A and B are shown apart, each in its own frame.
Chain A
């Protein structure tokens, strides 16, 4: 039992920052629940809150790796916006004229075009940054202006509808309560399976696996969280499809960041570029790859954005890049590179959304919402710096 305790202690110390930020989130939720007499954690608000965080969360997920390599991408908001107006334009003019009655096809094409455009743009920016050594700050600042122009050109200053019913499901759909429960049961089963597999693998290599108690506690905690969440949102409309999408994307990207060479190299490049280079890591190629991943995220984010609002507008994606960067930093990603997790960024994004939602619910004027959010960001990062120094 003592080994279990010491393991817990060690984990707590190691992931101190993660726990601190989760704690901060819980505090925010409790605070707003009191201030709104419980409406804040009602099913409708919880459901909307999670839906609202999705679009910037995709960007934050990609931004983590960009920042881990020591770069930054200021164009992601505009890129998501550009993708959304492209998708809207295709739906309004092209699909409508050439394949009017194939809803499944047009939706599939919209998604592919969106992701394609996002990826291609980041391929260009990634090439300029990684191979031509132009600072990412400059490349992506220029990129965001180019995209601003692009949005105006595509929209011609007008609002374009993107509201075919099937396409709208991407960001506005819900799983029926039964399906929701089935999916969560599958996720839990999968977790049990992968836990057992990893234990078997450890034993095969002659390592001592963690005490079974711990693994069970972890699984139970995860299952309870999922169950509570599903129970709450099922009382409104059900599990939100965009949230599912985000969860899948985050898991995949998290896997990429920890279990693949590309991810490992990203952290090494950000941690010490010269040491990585002298260890035979191809810096250019790996930074480029991270930009391509960012493009993928921007594409997905743009498609969800178009589906979420139902049209493409000239203001699409305005300022999202800063929300994404703020979420990432709140989630513990270092602005100097080398440090950061996908999970942290998701929590950071959730905190930003929770604040916005709570302040809106309390009818705080928009101007003051900005002021408060700004203060929270800076104070949170200061608290992190302070705790690190005085631990």
Chain B
């Protein structure tokens, strides 16, 4: 009774897969949670040695699929079959090592390295080569370096991870996966923290991996990357596979249409705003790292800002964009020289609290780390910066609080069963809306948004763009940092380009072009 009846078609399928060189065959996988179908009859195939892109809005089922591949949702907790290397993949919950042993490795969106250890130690963490008495350090570093060199990663195995940039940290993670003889490498939003330059490098490395026969699953929101690198694209929407076809047969508009289920005419909504009078000006600002006075974090920045305009700040990673806005908000750099003027009067910048009272708000870059108290409800997060509004005599007026948070949440279309839901359960786009709601409630005149659409899906991005336009039309001055060239060009009235802590130039709308911006960003 080895082959019972229902197994037989599977057997035939396996033979077919071998002929077509299919490394991973996902067949009719359905995964339900109480009340939600996360994956609904998902089937697609991944060929050996290809780069297979997966895209879809947040909540489309990508993460659930990855959790299954990693064994977090073990075999038996979902229906359907996953055939890997010609046999059924049966991962168990007990050990996360099992997936790695099978040759499936995930490079996570959030990096999972130990900063105070060397690259080599990180690569071999948990499975260090042994001598009879302890760790064989020579073998460890030699092996690491060999892997790094083989795939042209240009990293020294003896370097401490904390000294690497984000891009190289990610490569270290990739090296770690490769050292475990990964046959399938799953990259989850690998470029969300990378500059364009670093992204280019990553693309190059993925091509090297491909030439060595490694299969890659590439999950991303950035469609241009899919077209650059993926051989095949699978689009998921609401837990279902919408399409899985060679990239050659697709174009960007089709892909977006598949993801959101509607044809999107424009990625950036139009706005008819007219910037008003100048309200904010920064003159030749210099600031130093508060922990290390020899480090200049802002090195000569000047710009002005008008009511009701969106000023984009472009620049590569490390150009000091985030440092500049955190300094202006009063929570990072120590200002050494230069002036900051609000309504023509010089203002003192000392703390977030003071900036808020000046009408300046900051939506920070990393919403999980700096924007939200994840273990608290949506309502408490929104009111956190605004409790003074609802408090009299040291007492919070709950009803006033609920009323205000309710109405702002509705205005921003935050999708949640109720406002008492904890923020950790929300999707990235909704989390970002909660952060924005918090700041809108404080009624800012100047809203600084540091990479506001980082890591959120196309649909939510569009909503955020629309919201930004509405705010600008109401007269709020917005400073927007963006890592995506198209976004900064599509949304801004003017663009300030930064390089190494300096403002290089501020471009008017008729001067916008990608080559010009890139030249300024790299030209210092």
Give chain A's interface residues, CB within 8 Å of chain B.
Answer: 201-202, 204-207, 259-262, 264-265, 267-268, 271-272, 274-282, 338-339
Contacts and interface: CB of A to CB of B under 8 A. Distances in A.
B367 to A, nearest CB: 9
Closest 9 CB pairs of A and B: A271-B373, A279-B385, A205-B399, A280-B353, A272-B373, A261-B387, A280-B356, A279-B384, A280-B352
Interface in B353-390: 353, 355-356, 362, 364, 369-376, 380, 383-385, 387-388
B394 interface: yes
Contacts of B372: 272, 275
Contacts of A262: 394
Contacts of B395: 259-260
Given A205-B403, A274-B369, A338 B396 contact: no
A260 B398 CA distance: 10
**Interface size class, chain B:** 20 to 34
Contacts of B351: 280, 282
B444 to A, nearest CB: 11
Interface centre among B373, B376, B380 (most CB of A within 10 A): B373
Contacts of A259: 395-396, 398
A27 B331 CA distance: 51
B399 A281 contact: no
Nearest to B355: A280
A278 B385 CA distance: 9
B391 interface: yes
Contacts of B438: 279
Given A259-B396, A260-B391, A264-B387, A278 B362 contact: yes
B394 A268 contact: no
A280 B388 CA distance: 11
B371 A278 contact: yes
Given A275-B370, A279-B352, A264 B380 contact: yes
A271 B385 CA distance: 14
Contacts of B391: 260-261
B402 interface: yes
Nearest to A202: B399
Nearest to A337: B375
Contacts of B362: 278
Nearest to A256: B394
Contacts of A271: 373-376
A272 B373 CA distance: 5
A339 B375 contact: yes
Given A205-B402, A276-B373, A281-B353, 6 more contacts: A202-B399, A264-B380, A272-B372, A278-B352, A279-B438, A338-B375
B380 A268 contact: yes
14 contacts: A205-B402, A259-B396, A260-B391, A261-B387, A261-B388, A264-B383, A264-B396, A271-B373, A274-B369, A275-B369, A275-B372, A278-B331, A282-B353, A339-B375
B399 A277 contact: no
B384 A268 contact: yes
A139 B456 CA distance: 43
A278 B380 CA distance: 15
Contacts of B398: 259
Contacts of A274: 369-370
Given A262-B394, A280-B353, A282-B353, A275 B380 contact: no
B402 A275 contact: no
A11 to B, nearest CB: 11
A268 B373 contact: yes
A207 B399 contact: yes
A256 to B, nearest CB: 9
B325 to A, nearest CB: 11
Contact of B376 (A267, A277, A278): A267
Contact of A275 (B329, B373, B399): B373
A49 to B, nearest CB: 34
A209 to B, nearest CB: 11
A275 B388 CA distance: 17
Given A274-B370, A338-B373, A281 B384 contact: yes
A67 to B, nearest CB: 14
A201 B351 CA distance: 36
Given A277-B331, A278-B362, A280-B385, A261 B396 contact: yes
A202 B388 CA distance: 21
Given A264-B384, A280-B353, A280-B356, A275 B371 contact: yes
Contacts of B383: 264
A354 to B, nearest CB: 30
A260 B352 contact: no
Contacts of A206: 403
A268 B382 CA distance: 12
A261 B394 contact: yes
Interface centre among A259, A271, A274, A275 (most CB of B within 10 A): A275
Contact of A278 (B370, B387, B399, B402): B370
B358 to A, nearest CB: 11
Interface string B434-449: 0000100000000000
Contacts of A261: 387-388, 391, 394, 396
A268 B376 contact: yes
A152 to B, nearest CB: 40
Contacts of A276: 373, 384
Contacts of B329: 278
Contacts of B353: 280-282
A268 B394 CA distance: 17
B472 to A, nearest CB: 23
Contacts of B385: 279-281
Contacts of B376: 267-268, 271, 338
Interface in B244-296: none
A76 B400 CA distance: 37
Contacts of B364: 278
B394 A201 contact: no
Contacts of B402: 205, 207
A204 B370 CA distance: 36
Interface centre among A261, A277, A278 (most CB of B within 10 A): A278
Nearest to B390: A261
A275 B438 CA distance: 11
A272 B374 CA distance: 8
B375 to A, nearest CB: 5
Contacts of B356: 280
Interface centre among B331, B356, B364, B399 (most CB of A within 10 A): B399
Contacts of B394: 260-262
A275 B394 CA distance: 22
Contacts of B331: 277-278
B405 to A, nearest CB: 12
B108 to A, nearest CB: 21
A280 B370 CA distance: 12
A4 B324 CA distance: 53
A93 to B, nearest CB: 39
A204 B403 CA distance: 11
B145 to A, nearest CB: 36
A339 B391 CA distance: 22
A163 B391 CA distance: 44
A206 B369 CA distance: 35
Nearest to A260: B394
A205 B352 CA distance: 32
Nearest to B331: A278
